[in-house]
Chain A
């Protein structure tokens, strides 16, 4: 019998063994439960319905139709040497024609209220990479970014893991619908100071994930004034900007800057991606739009670690340059998301569940605090667990979004068919009725 000789373990880095990737949080645990027992309309009707994935599947058909109709023109490029040039193209500037198309798409989403210069567009393989890249550029290890709570759980990983940068929360609560207040901003800044941590910027998501609301223009203006006063940066993650239910309700920080004649704009950077608005997460298309030349140059160089396939740039460049198509897509997508949201809200109301008044995004911010035994994180997780294993719905608990008030949950509605949404709403109705009967 062979004797096992213990080999000396060869060392790994702190990053490799750290838990900052956050894979242990409920946000990810729910997905595991779903993976093990996924709902299928006929195959597995009692399976777990995935409502923890903020993906847009309501407008896929429009993209498929477009590609089918334009399959002839979906070529490698105008010249005969199109494929060859495309296959060899690894310039970190990205295809000029693709950048132009992205810039014009971003303008269309904002109803032409802001102009975007293609030369300020830096390409990255997804918004995840864009956020990480900006963090590397704007902050040193040990520094901090201020982020309003509740925030997208992925930030804990994307902004902190490899960068060594901290997140200091700007606490928001339901008393004013979770909007950022000047007091909260100041308190967060002071809190960082008291820990001897240098604040390098504020990072907002607008429209907000997980709240599903756009940030008020006045709040944006205040945030801009705040970062100017403190001489720090502002990163505005506008990844859901095309998913606002009504075109007039979204104000991008770009609009405000333009209105202010670009005064003090070098501290502002916008992150965008096609993963949500176009429903193409697998394509890995993200961008950084920065008003700061040094940041643009640096981000370009750093994007070597996260470039978009030239094939994808070519394909999407073609599609996004077709302004008739994109205009139509944006409008229809908005309408369909609004319809979904309204269906969701009315279904929840019928079940006696309240949510935050939302106007954007692929999810609702739902208030289940009446179900909690005590207003604590543990109670919230108990309810989450109950809903996951009894009601068979995977929703995201507010604590994984660092919400300071227990009882709130993010529930996604766009990553499934309408039928499946109806099934989910039915399950919630039944569950709430059962609880009502129990407590009566």
Chain B
């Protein structure tokens, strides 16, 4: 059996406890020794001498064991990625003269085997088009909102004559762009406009201070920046499941931070329980790992539920008790339907005299304003240190100047934004109603939800066997036979198999009967024989 130095082989290190290299050799000597001594020595010699020899041996071996690894950042970083990277994957290792990439890169370069990404690729390669490709894949796996872009187009044609440049006649001629460093984290006018927009989105129940905003090229880097600021490699965030598959990448890839799932179940509509949070927290601590915070999405993705005021208070109490952070991703805050009101973490902090240094909100324009291409995200925090560090980090992910210039007048046009927000909500509501009713016709119920661009469909009765494999079989049938791309719950780390996220805001009303019909065909083949 080969003796591997536990430190040099990261896979081994995480699977077996580190054993002193001397252990095995020691045993091999003791056993024959004892036999020999017992044969001749009598009680004292038979027990004392072997014991003494044993201790002597251990002592000798301890002193000559290979020294522990230097406490350099290189060996202890990224235990998560090291586990999956597997040195054997570095294909260039075998071939002569090919410079290798880092272990971080190797793990990412492997083809994405998550159904979330596979489905997205298939749907875009064979995209449905009513005229050009009627048998193509209909995309229900991308939470994109196509329902209200016409409103933005109208605004653009009214205000900019349909031009691509903002800022009135030649977007280049303003002084703001000339200075380089000052505006990595967003032009002041855009921050003011964004703060106002966020307040409108959240029903004007809270006002946002522009100087607490840091703007980034999308919500994706906003999340990553917060993780870089709040945690070191090897630290963990607790996250309720099911969660947005992208978090696995955004939170973990380059930061080395871990995500610890806190499972939620359908029995209480996937509500987050503080007890479950507490249990997860304690388990992590027992392992000797540090929990740095909780990551939530509210409205939740993929379930679409909204956190109640009470839950928000409880979460704050919990965070205060454990002295950890809360990151509240509120990117769907404006995409609410139904009668439940959305309460932002900011609203709670506003009213309570609480320690605000631990709460950070993420927002963006990709969902509520349907502009994912423009790359507009935001971090909102009360923590001065986090704000300072985040601002400096935006040099790696700033919003492009013409886009800032275009959005300032648009977001400042509060009449337009108010009309947009209201109309958009109504449209999402009516698509939701139609889609969920259509699914019900097939006997598929959805979890209760009040926000987001999707519904969380219960197809547990249609999968066989009742496990992840059964779920993926159904996903596969839906993708390849029904030609519908939906996101299976396992990609969202849902503990119960059989749930699927279906985004309906990429459809138009007339597409719905077609979608339902296609799903019906597959559903019929899954129903148990009566």
Contact = CB atoms under 8 A, between A and B. Distances in A.
Interface of A: 7-17, 21, 23, 31, 53, 55, 57, 60, 63-64, 67-68, 71, 74-76, 83-84, 86-90, 125-126, 128-129, 132, 136-143, 157-158, 162, 164, 196, 200-201, 227-228, 231-233, 264, 266-267, 280-285, 292, 294-295, 297-298, 301-302, 304-312, 314-315
Contact of B77 (A76, A90, A164, A297): A164
Interface centre among B146, B183, B402 (most CB of A within 10 A): B402
Cβ-closest 10 pairs across A and B: A142-B74, A310-B373, A282-B401, A282-B177, A309-B400, A16-B389, A16-B229, A90-B372, A309-B403, A89-B373
A75 B163 contact: yes
Contacts of A196: 70
A76 B173 CA distance: 20
B437 interface: no
Nearest to A140: B102
Nearest to A15: B228
Interface in B192-240: 217-218, 220-221, 224, 228-233, 235
B163 A304 contact: no
B229 A13 contact: yes
Interface stretch (B22-30, B164-172, B465-473, B488-496): B164-172
A431 B256 CA distance: 53
15 contacts: A10-B324, A12-B230, A21-B392, A67-B165, A67-B171, A74-B163, A126-B398, A200-B99, A233-B99, A282-B176, A282-B180, A284-B400, A297-B109, A304-B220, A311-B402
B70 to A, nearest CB: 8
A200 B100 CA distance: 8
A282 B403 CA distance: 10
Given A8-B323, A128-B395, A283 B375 contact: no
Contact of B73 (A141, A200, A283): A141
A311 B406 contact: yes
Interface string B104-133: 110011000000000000000000000000
Contacts of B70: 196
A196 B72 CA distance: 11
Contacts of B366: 90
A60 B393 CA distance: 28
A311 B401 contact: no
A294 B101 contact: yes
A16 B228 contact: yes
Interface residues of B, number: 85
A24 B265 CA distance: 50
B373 A90 contact: yes
Interface of B: 70, 72-75, 77-78, 92, 97-99, 101-105, 108-109, 144, 146, 149, 152-153, 156, 162-165, 169-173, 176-178, 180-181, 183, 217-218, 220-221, 224, 228-233, 235, 249-250, 253-254, 292, 323-325, 355, 357-358, 366, 370-375, 383, 385-386, 389, 392-393, 395-403, 406
A140 B399 contact: no
Given A162-B393, A308-B400, A55 B253 contact: no
Nearest to A268: B99
B370 A88 contact: yes
Given A57-B178, A88-B370, A136-B102, A125 B323 contact: no
Contacts of A201: 99
A88 B372 contact: yes
Contacts of B385: 12, 16-17
A102 B401 CA distance: 19
B505 to A, nearest CB: 11
Contacts of B392: 21, 23
Given A10-B324, A84-B153, A90-B375, 10 more contacts: A11-B323, A64-B173, A71-B163, A83-B149, A83-B162, A162-B228, A282-B180, A305-B396, A309-B373, A311-B373
B403 A305 contact: no
A283 B174 CA distance: 13
A308 B406 CA distance: 15
A89 B44 CA distance: 83
A310 B403 CA distance: 9
A128 B402 CA distance: 19
Contacts of B400: 125, 282-285, 308-309, 311-312
Contacts of B402: 283, 309, 311-312, 315
A80 B229 CA distance: 43
Contact of B165 (A74, A282, A292): A74
Contacts of A15: 228-229, 232, 389
Contact of B170 (A68, A84, A266, A306): A68
A31 B181 contact: yes
A130 B341 CA distance: 42
Nearest to A234: B99
Nearest to A80: B153
B403 A55 contact: no
B153 A83 contact: yes
Nearest to B357: A10
Given A53-B180, A63-B172, A200 B397 contact: no
A311 B372 contact: no
Contacts of B253: 302
Contacts of B250: 305
B232 A13 contact: yes
B249 A283 contact: no
A312 B403 contact: yes
A88 to B, nearest CB: 6
A158 B397 CA distance: 12
A310 B398 CA distance: 14
A12 B181 CA distance: 25
A313 B290 CA distance: 42
A407 B108 CA distance: 45
B323 to A, nearest CB: 5
B156 A83 contact: yes
